[in-house]
Structure 1
Amino acid sequence: MTRFVRPAALLLVAAVTLVLPATLDDSALAVYILLGLAAIVTAGVSLLMGYAGQVSLGQGAFYAIGAYTAALLSLGGVPPLVGLLAAPVAAAVFALVIGTPLLRLRGHHLAFATLAMQLILLSLAGQLEFTGGDIGLQAIPQFSLGSFEASGAAAYAYMTWAGLAVVMLITHNVISSRPGRALRALATSETAAASSGIPVGRYKLVVFALSATFAGLAGGIYCFYTGYVAPGSFPVLISIQYIVMAVVGGLGTIWGAVVGATAITLLVQGLDRLASLPGMPTYAPSVLSYAVYALVLIVVVLFMPRGLVPALSRRPDRRPRR
């Protein structure tokens, strides 16, 4: 039955994904696109934390690098497709450069170092002239390919979810490959993996760069969709959000990124509407966001420590108890 149920479920998900952009209004489409972009970044975070055992609080920095790369190239007259392809490459190269020294750190030391990296990057983007300073880059051209121009939100929705499909396919192939088995050994014990001949440092760096590649791709799509990028578009909270999504969905699972991004995005949208009700204080949105992230993490860690996807897919034990 599993051989038939899984393909049927995939076809159903694909059909719903293709139909939704044609049925949603502009405000719902914006949420749909941002949800897909968050899932792309979260897939890299899930891979990084679930297999390499590294906690990064700086995924927003790679997201920003992808967005700024695509924006600068497009504003410079480079075809948008080239800018979109260059976005993940620039993020990966940056991850390889900074990951070489940073990945010598572990635990909270690495988390704080990646957080500092994002703060430094955003500070530089706010000061440099070619990045537009605090005002940012505006009037970014629409994405186009030949005679096709993505002028509507529906086109960016299809582009976003096509990117997510590619990311999930890459993740599936990585996990199913021989390096994927080495990564699973690495996630279990770095010492045991190293004693088995696995180059731990090299694998950690590759996964770090791969997660940055996913974030850079999402950033490239984001810049064309919004037509505007600035340091304020990539706050520290967004990196925390990706970690919460990965943990809630299930670390090291392919569908965990989609489920976690969906759950947290819809929850945040509902809280934003609640905070905008008459009589609510001006600080309500930020307070509710931080409070919800904390509560969701506490609930998941206590009752579903492996995340939603492993908890929902776990088969009940039907063996008779003695």
Structure 2
Amino acid sequence: MIRAAAGLLVAAVTLALPAVLDDSALAVYILLGLAAMVTVGVSLLMGYAGQVSLGQGAFYAIGAYTAALLSLHGVPPLAGLVAAPVAAAGSALVIGVPLLRLRGHHLAFATLAVQLILLSLAGQLEITGGDIGLQAIPQFAIGSFEAGSAAAYAYMTWAGLALVMLVTRNVIDSRPGRALRALATSETAAASSGIPVGRYKLVVFALSAAFAGLAGGIYCFYTGYVAPGSFPVLISIQYIVMAVVGGLGTIWGAVVGAAAITLLVQGLNSLAAVPGMPSSAPSVLSYAVYALVLILVVLFLPHGLLPALSGRLSRKRDASPVETR
């Protein structure tokens, strides 16, 4: 009952905010939703499948470039948006076959290398616009409806996030979801129980990439511009930090972590814009704060913000005195 009421309250606030926020705040709201979409996939990949990826920004870029290229060549925007997660998932399946043979930090560095290679190619290929990127991407439209306002993209973003969360919840509650939890605990034990470890790792890798691709597709229509500089390596690290801060292996934890880090980054950007700050201030502050936040969370909230908050509320409820007659 309490969870249902909390869910309804969150939904009501989510739907009400685009009507009251100005364009500057709406931009942050949209970026927050897009980050949460990718972070849900990261939490699924790391928290349930036990796989570490530092290359989610690559699939975010693949989704954005796919939707942008199709739209610029006359394909309806809806078809471009649908193709974005499909292209990202397909790319993950192709590169996942060799990469997922690796484990731990070897896999993390390999996925990071994928993003670096992708950004290098995007900066050199003529079809992707080189370093200049793709400009004048058409607005998202379905029939006569055109998303010409930031509020429309905010609703679109959060509808996408709701879809991603629903799919993730269904996966977790299914039989494959239970197999994923076993896989995260011990691949050897999971394999001895008859679980096809390699296949499950590949499927969840592709699913998390599809989430990133969907976010990238929405991003390209919202900004109307994509370039290699839109997808720096730091963005992949940011998604990992969001997932860890919010709580790995939790759906709502990914949203909480995305909100906390996005708002923190906006605050840092405002601080870096203060007159007298050096030009390197934004990147230096970002890396320093990410490191500090990770250290503090690992030391004091090892399971993340949401599990810690839920655990504290449960302890208070259990410790409350029982009413006697």
TM-score, normalised on structure 2?
0.96
Q: Aligned partners of 2:127 and 2:148: how far apart in 1? A: 26
1:162 and 2:159 are equivalent in the alignment = yes
1:300 matched to 2:297? The reply is yes
Deviation string 1:262-286 (CA, Å, 9 cap, x unpaired) is: 0000011011111111121111111
Distance in 2 separating the partners of 1:319 and 1:242:
36
| Counterpart secondary structure, 1:93 | helix
- 2-side partners of 1:222 and 1:273: how far apart? 22
Runs of 4+ with >3 A deviation: 317-320
1:78-101 deviation line (CA, Å, top 9, x unaligned): 000000000000000000000000
Distance 1:266 1:91 in 2: 27
Q: Which residue of 2 aligns with 1:70?
A: 67
Amino acid in structure 2 at the alignment position of 1:307: G
Query: Is 1:57 matched up with 2:54?
Result: yes
2:280 to 280, 283, 286: 283
Per-residue CA deviations over 1:136-172 (Å, capped at 9, x if unaligned) read: 0000000000110000000000000000000000010
Matched letter for residue 48 of structure 1: L
Q: Unaligned regions of 5+ residues in structure 1, if any?
A: none
2:101 to 101, 104, 113: 104
Aligned counterpart in structure 1 of residue 132 of structure 2, from 124, 132, 135: 135
Cross-structure match for 1:254: 251
**SS at 1:292 equivalent:** helix
1:316 matched to 2:298: no
Instruction: Give the secondary structure class of the aligned counterpart of 1:316.
Output: helix
Q: Which amino acid aligns with 1:60?
A: G
Which residue identity is paired with 1:183?
Answer: L
Match in the other structure for 1:172: 169
Count of residue pairs brought into register by the alignment: 317
Task: Tell me which of 209, 212, 220 is aligned to 2:209.
Answer: 212
Matched letter for residue 236 of structure 2: S
Partner of 2:323: none
Unmatched tracts of structure 2, length 5 or more? 321-325
Structure 2: which amino acid aligns with 1:18? L
**1:23 Cα deviation (Å)?**
0.3
Matched letter for residue 254 of structure 2: A
Distance (Å, rounded) in 2 between the aligned partners of 1:231 and 1:277: 27
Where does residue 237 of structure 1 map in the other structure?
234
User: What whole-Å deviation, never above 9, does each CA across 1:223-257 have from its counterpart, x for those lacking one?
Assistant: 00000000000000000000000000111101011
Distance 1:60 1:281 in 2: 27
Equivalents in 1 of 2:42, 2:179: separation in Å? 18
Alignment correspondent of 1:126:
123
1:85 aligned residue = 82
Identity %: 86
Structure 1 residue 316 displacement after superposition: 1.2
SS in 2 for 1:255: helix
What is the CA–CA distance in structure 1 between the aligned matches of 2:55 and 2:218, rounded to whole Å? 19
Structure 2: distance between partners of 1:178 and 1:53: 17
- Alpha-carbon distance in structure 1 between the residues aligned to 2:280 and 2:140: 36
* Amino acid paired to 1:269: Q
Q: Partner of 1:115 in structure 2?
A: 112
Output the amino acid matched with 1:24: L
1:42 aligns with 2:39: yes
Change (3 A) 1:279 1:50: same
1:184-243: CA deviations, max 9, x gaps? 111111111111000111100000000000000000000000000000000000000000
**Larger CA deviation: 188-197 vs 133-142:** 188-197
* Cα distance per residue 1:59-90 (max 9 Å; x no partner): 00000000000000000000000000000000
Separation in structure 1 between the aligned mates of residue 310 and residue 186 of structure 2, nearest angstrom: 25
In the alignment, the residues of structure 2 paired with residue 308 and residue 119 of structure 1 have an alpha-carbon distance, to the nearest angstrom, of 31
Question: RMSD of the alignment, in Å?
Answer: 1.0
